[in-house]
Structure 1
Amino acid sequence: MSQNTQDGYTRNWFKVTIPYGIKYDKAWLMNSIQSHCSDPFTPVDFHYVRNRACFFVEDASAASALKDVSYKICDDENQKICIFVNHSTAPYSVKNKLKPGQMEMLKLTMNKRYSVSQQALDLQNLRFDPDLVGRDIDIILNRRNCMAATLKIIERNFPELESVWELGKVKGLKLEELWLEGNPLCSTFSDQSAYVSAIRDCFPKLLRLDGQELSAPMIVDIDSSETMKPCKENFTGSETLKHLVLQFLQQYYSIYDSGDRQGLLGAYHDEACFSLAIPFDPKDSAPNSLCKYFEDSRNMKTLKDPYLKGELLRRTKRDIVDSLSALPKTQHDLSSILVDMWCQTERMLCFSVNGVFKEVEGQSQGSVLAFTRTFIATPGSSSSLCIVNDELFVRDASPQETQSAFSIPVSTLSSSSEPSLSQEQQEMVQAFSAQSGMKLEWSQKCLQDNEWNYARAGQAFTMLQTEGKIPAEAFKQIS
């Protein structure tokens, strides 16, 4: 395998994406592609994300042959299947595959946590287990490689974990992803909906089951329009209104750029709408920094397929946040942002946001793009805003915009008396909060007290929690 890299990309890896591939059975889809492909290939890490099917190949000739398969396969409805092939980093499961020694240590740790009498396996706070932390083994169960390794050990060593009632014994775990494919319990339900319902009863916060996205759990309770009664001063004074909007945008883009956009669920109404458009011609063969936005572009001027017109309009907050999470990771230049509030009533606020951002990973890392975003919002809880409509337009930045981008340093959202956090530190705080269940400010303090050593902070958290020295107000409230 060649190790030549450019901008962090291993040149031999390619990501294959089938838009709306979730409609097709995996076996049928892969057999159809294999039969039409002139070069044999080995798919790696096949999975569904949102409504797409994705996998990776490591062979450049196979990648080229896969491009030729696009629009050559028809489904049962005589719809041609589109296939996108792009250069990619090595799949996460390949780059981060656990080594034999790490697998053995994980197995020993899980053995220690298994109760034979109760036939129960305790995976709570697994990442902070002293045996793993002491050997610098970082196990985060919502990462595909960690989950795959854990499931492999369960399959080989704990085969009796096969009923949903046994899972109920660990229903306190704040799981976001669970894989049970191949477990005997999957065949005990009358249909898929009954299976999903039973699992969600155990894990209400679950987002993905066996690689499939689930409907959104309730993260933030948005009141009905009859009970949304904002303080009128929020909408009468221009300075107050300006402060409200700017504070909202700072919080929004802080989460958007954090690397985990699931936190944006609370910013959208349950039935919000979102659309994305770019000025990009798919017939243009030249490399284009907007390629990753093409699949979701809903430019009504060029979009002729009536099915896609409906599919590309994201209609719920879960679908919206999943769409945003699939877009490239970014860093917005907050000093470049211009806000135009062009419609205001007591119950609705319409405003447009213009600015620039850069991508922070992948083949286009460092490239500067410009955007225009139009929000329609209603009053939300805690005197904030609740988005009901979001339209995003992304384009290549002009030379002048690129030159002036990020020329003015922007402080983080923390108060001026507190030190600014780097992007890496912000991501550490988000990750620590997700794993420990503590609020962001408490997670940040724990990391700062331990000099931003994640493993040491985890050990300190586990010790203090065991001794009952962490106050209840440090933890997030579970609805």
Structure 2
Amino acid sequence: MDSFHYINNEAQFFVQDAVTESALKEVSQKVHDENRKIPTFVNHSAIPYSIQNHLRPEEMEQIKLTLNKRYDAYTQSLDLQRLQYDPDLVGHDIDMILNQRHCMAAILQIIEKEFPEVFCLNLRNNKLYQLDDLSDIIGKAPKIKILNLSDNELKMALELQKLKELKLEELWLEGNPLCSTFSDHAAYVSLILDCFPNLLRLDGRELYPRAVTEVVLMKPCKESYQGPELLKNLILYFLQQYYFIYDYGDRHTLINVYHEKACFSLSTAFNSMDPDPSALYDYIKNNRNMKDIKDSYLRRKLLKHRNRTIVDALSMLPRTQHDFSSFSIDMWFHTDTMISFAVNGLFRGESNSQNLMFAFTRTFIVTPSMTSMLCILNDQLLVKNISPLNVHTVFTIPGSIPCSSCTPTLSQLQHELEQAFSSLSGMKFEWCRKCLEENGWNYTRAAQVFLILQIQGKIPKEAFKQIT
């Protein structure tokens, strides 16, 4: 079988003998997937152009070497712009014109074998006038999120339909004739979104401006970050709001707290004396401890790079409830543009359908941000079991807690919600109870309302406990 490609839900391929042709006719309507029988249509054809122009093995090897030079494993990016003029190809008399089927087929074959994890593909300035041949990439590199097709010869937006099965988040089309065929920019954006509904950026522009009520971590004041007391309050405030969302909100909303090119890694630590080492299973499978992981490819894969990948990974981890009163913070370095600190503490987590206690150390490298209080550049999380002797210290929140005789209408669960809300928001119990009651004891909704009101400066100072 040669020249296989996939277009509009149809698999098309070329075969060269009558026996295979007859066999294909016989299996029509006899092969089926989960939903329907699959028909097979056999038609006579001229030999495809791609078959007539197969590249020699030595040429394929040189192309592979060239692509390896153009691939960045750290960002999972493959830069193929102006590939025809690459000196390594020109010097070997290889005319790699990507608007010819056999050339594109060769590139996709190498991508499938060498770079199946590619996240960003740059095809800028390659004289592409149609995307039939590129459509085969859907099955060969399905993780592509960023595609650059700028400065090519695409004349019709219908060509983009051939790539609509890619889950693109960023697309570049500027410099193509099709961009001038729309009456206005809104029509242009609307048609592109019909093809790629998950798209977040088009030609470098954000498609969805942040809503006013979006949950972000805002600066508590406008003063400089200089001085130990201000830095202390800044970090405490940041951690309160970060874990407020991490524990009880949608972790995907933390995307704005991470730098676009931030890194995150998770490690676990346990020993034979742990009461239940298997409790760490949900964390061990993502463990990037370099003492344990010898495979360099696996280490790279377990390093989460870019903010969207990071929040996706965080959302896959078990739900948690951190005890803010157990936190100890060590800041060892700071400048006007960067702060490094570590947080040690305890949390309750769901793992293997159990409600278990864990200890953690989290190391942050952050920088001040225009859109949030701090922007995370690097985040390293270490999770480990805690001994039974430490369990009783978890979730003991300082301050007077209303007893059941004083508040008989509150259930044990409501007490726990009130205490957790107070621990992470910094508000007094009576204010936490009021906020929870007004939101029907829906913790996530109450947390979102709290953050919005705090951002707007509508919560009075007397609502908060004094931080000592």
TM-score calculated relative to the size of structure 2: 0.44
Q: Which has the larger radius of gyration?
A: 2
Greater relative contact order (Cα 8 A, min sep 6): structure 1 or 2?
1
TM-score calculated relative to the size of structure 1: 0.43
